[in-house]
Structure 1
Amino acid sequence: MAVAVFLVAMNARTEPALPVDAAAPAASASINSNAPTPSEKPPASPSPLSSTTPTAAPVSTPVDYAGRTRGGGAALAVSVQDNKAVAYLCDGKRTEVWLSGTAGSDGSLNLTGPDGARLIAQRANGHASGTVHSARTTWTFDLPRTGTTALYQATGQAAGKRLRAGWVVLPDGSQTGIVTRSGKPFGPAPRLNAATGSVVVDGIILRATAVTGQSSLAAH
């Protein structure tokens, strides 16, 4: 009896302990137990994100300002859209200038035109105020916001010459404009039918379009 107890004790002390990693096969078997059987389909892998073309940001509604320069010597309209602006100054006789440039988020306007023409202005409280310099003359202005389209242009061709007409439509509905032939002003623009956009210049029916800050100005 004592011998048997001694042998059992010896066997308990001499049996080597299992290494720590010995449990790995069992755990691995447990993980692999979820593997699909031949009759099962593996789960579908997520489809890659489809590439899409970025959508252009929507263009805002134009904001127009129009009025007469200080002293009444010329009419001026400025159209602002997003971060761009276009302006047209004319006296209805022989002087005109188109300008285009930037509209800052701080309300600033910085526009340039041919032969060093420039408009600098600030927008605040429903007005655009500043100066226009062109043809050795400087005009000052304080234009109210109109709430309607204030600036139009029309182009065409007659007798081999390019025709271009521009209009400033003031808040009271009156118009001031000039027609040019191949870049040279030759007289006042006829009254524009703003409802239809049609006008007759040199016997040719032209279609006028509204000019906004995003518009491309026609070449002289």
Structure 2
Amino acid sequence: MSTLGPFLTLAAGAVLAVGLGVASITATPPAGNTAADTPTEAPAAGQTAAEPSSPTPSPSATSPEEIVKADYGGRVKGSGALIAVSVRNGKAVGYFCDGRSEVWFKGSGTAGELRLTGAADTGSKITAELDDGRAEGSVSIGGRKWRFVAPTVVKPSGLYRATAVVRGARLRAGWIVIRNQDGGYDQVGAAFAGEEQFGVPRLDSGRPTAPVTVAGTTVQPKDVDGFIEEMR
């Protein structure tokens, strides 16, 4: 019996063990290697790799919120005038009056600020920040500038306006009504037909939209809800 048989059997076993070890190393990835570590397949010619999508900001996150309804009124420091601003669905109208001169304004109101420009004089401005139930800012007219603080108000406080035709000229009259600390109401108003000024009577604080006579003509004052759409 040949003595080479056992040696051949051992050699064959060693070769088989080495082959199985190599196959195991090839089939099993190294420890710690994950799909994130594996290179991704390059896009085919003419294609581009898809970019991660970014969330689209909602309109409420990027656009100021419009005020649905608000009314502000107060005194203009150092001028002897009153000021009133009303906002409806983001549209704002304002009125500055000291009984001798007046300016009407129009613009916008958001949850954070008021921005208005003179209806007849675009150089006139109202700019105010809205916080804690009041408007605080400045009004600029004819190169002069005053500060004001105007808390929110409720009727009959607020802004009133009437229009008519007097001797062929369009008459406009305006009033601001503000409740005072004594429980009564302070008022200021003015009326003009062209360049001619007329006196205005006080409004009845109990019925501020009751008819009054201006320049010999009976007019019907309207609250802001009645005329804001006329001021475009």
Assess same fold via TM > 0.5.
Answer: yes
Is contact 1:85–1:213 with CA below 8 Å preserved after alignment? no
- Structure 1: runs of 5+ lacking an equivalent: 1-59
Structure 1 residues 190 and 97, CA, compared in 2 at 3 Å: closer, same or farther?
A: same
Which of 140, 145, 150 in structure 1 is aligned with 2:152? 145
Q: Percent identity?
A: 38
Please state whether the residue corresponding to 2:228 is helix, strand or coil: coil
Is contact 1:62–1:213 with CA below 8 Å preserved after alignment? no
Is contact 2:79–2:146 with CA below 8 Å preserved after alignment? no
Superposed, 1:1-220 pairs within 5 Å as 62-93=69-100, 95-105=101-111, 107-113=112-118, 114-115=120-121, 116-148=123-155, 149-172=157-180, 173-182=185-194, 184=195, 186-194=197-205, 195=207, 196-212=209-225, 215-217=228-230
Matched to 1:144, the amino acid is P
Count of residue correspondences: 158
Cα-to-partner distance string for 1:174-206 (whole Å, 9 max, x where unaligned) = 210100012x25144211235143110111110
Is contact 2:135–2:151 with CA below 8 Å preserved after alignment? yes
Q: Which stretch shifts more, 71-80 or 163-172?
A: 71-80
Cα-to-partner distance string for 1:53-100 (whole Å, 9 max, x where unaligned) = xxxxxxx8632111110125211001122212111001111x111111
Q: For 1:191 and 1:75, locate their aligned partners in 2 and report how far apart those are by CA, in whole Å.
A: 15
Please state whether the residue corresponding to 1:121 is helix, strand or coil: strand
Q: For 1:169 and 1:85, locate their aligned partners in 2 and report how far apart those are by CA, in whole Å.
A: 18
1:217 CA drift (Å):
4.4
Q: For 2:168 and 2:158, locate their aligned partners in 1 and report how far apart those are by CA, in whole Å.
A: 30
1:143 CA drift (Å):
0.8
Q: Corresponding residue for 1:21?
A: none
Matched to 2:80, the amino acid is G
Matched to 2:190, the amino acid is I
Say what the alpha-carbon RMSD is for the aligned residues. Answer: 2.4
Q: For 2:109 and 2:226, locate their aligned partners in 1 and report how far apart those are by CA, in whole Å.
A: 9
Is contact 2:90–2:108 with CA below 8 Å preserved after alignment? yes
Matched to 1:170, the amino acid is I
Is contact 1:63–1:147 with CA below 8 Å preserved after alignment? no
TM-score in terms of structure 1 length = 0.65
Is contact 1:62–1:212 with CA below 8 Å preserved after alignment? no
Matched to 2:193, the amino acid is R
Is contact 2:161–2:227 with CA below 8 Å preserved after alignment? no
Please state whether the residue corresponding to 2:179 is helix, strand or coil: coil
Please state whether the residue corresponding to 1:193 is helix, strand or coil: coil
